[in-house]
Amino acid sequence: MIRIEAVEFSYPQGEFSLSIPQMSVAQGEKVAVIGPSGSGKTTLLNLVAGIITPQRGKVSVADMEVSSSSDAKRRDFRISNIGFVFQDFGLLDYLNVLDNILHPYRITRALNLTREVQQRAIDLADGLGIGDRLKHHAGELSQGEQQRAAICRALLPQPGLILADEATGNLDPRNKGKILDLLFDSVDSSEATLLAVTHDHDLLSRFDRVIDFLDYRNEGAS
């Protein structure tokens, strides 16, 4: 599903530098990524999603080389094939929760918004305990509720790859297991792949494999 080869990446400003000689994640695999803050874990997810591209090397997802594709092609591929749970949620304050969940379907022709999709959005929200918040705006939700809305949005297109950046970081212990169950159930039911950044080492036993990202951080990074 994911293959990274000889990737070199650095931001224009600052001393951060990332070097990944080789990394792969198989179809259907659930992989956790750990490492200290600033080691490049979120950068990895952004490279896989095609939000950013490396200065050198190749990043391929589902046989598409995202690192060499155009901005438009990467965007359509990401919306259609990748569910991304952002660390900052990425919700739009001027939309209510339901419209935030449905938003990917409104910004690209690659997805078709149907009644079935709308019902699936409602069912996902109900399953995560925010079904009664669908008409509220994002700013009216707690951080935990915003996180759950962001997860609903990521899961709605039933993507082949789910990228999660601290998906359970803003949730209380009771809801943390519930969210992880939903992520894993979604992955299993669609034979999808999960690549999840986490600082919660109590969750690591639930993953197939753990990658310590400190191994890929170049010396001199801040």
pLDDT at 5 over 90: yes
Helix, strand, or coil (residue 57): strand
In this prediction, residue 170 has a pLDDT band, given cuts at 50, 70 and 90, of low
Q: Mean pLDDT throughout 152-176?
A: 84
Report the chain's mean pLDDT, rounded to a whole number: 88
- Examine residue 222 and state whether it is found in any structural domain, yes or no: no
Query: What's the CA gap between 149 and 163, in Å, rounded?
Result: 15
Per-residue model confidence (pLDDT) at position 120? 95
In this prediction, residue 219 has a pLDDT band, given cuts at 50, 70 and 90, of very low
- Examine residue 73 and state whether it is found in any structural domain, yes or no: yes
- Examine residue 143 and state whether it is found in any structural domain, yes or no: yes
142: domain CATH number?
A: 3.40.50.300
- Examine residue 221 and state whether it is found in any structural domain, yes or no: no
Query: What's the CA gap between 163 and 194, in Å, rounded?
Result: 6
Per-residue model confidence (pLDDT) at position 218? 53
Report residue 201 as tokens: 């080492």
Query: pTM for the complete prediction?
Result: 0.86
102 with 122: CB under 8 angstroms? no
If one counts the domains in the chain, the total is 1
- Which residue from 50, 41, 130 is spatially nearest to 82, judged by alpha carbons? 50
Q: Mean pLDDT throughout 168-195?
A: 80
Per-residue model confidence (pLDDT) at position 167? 79
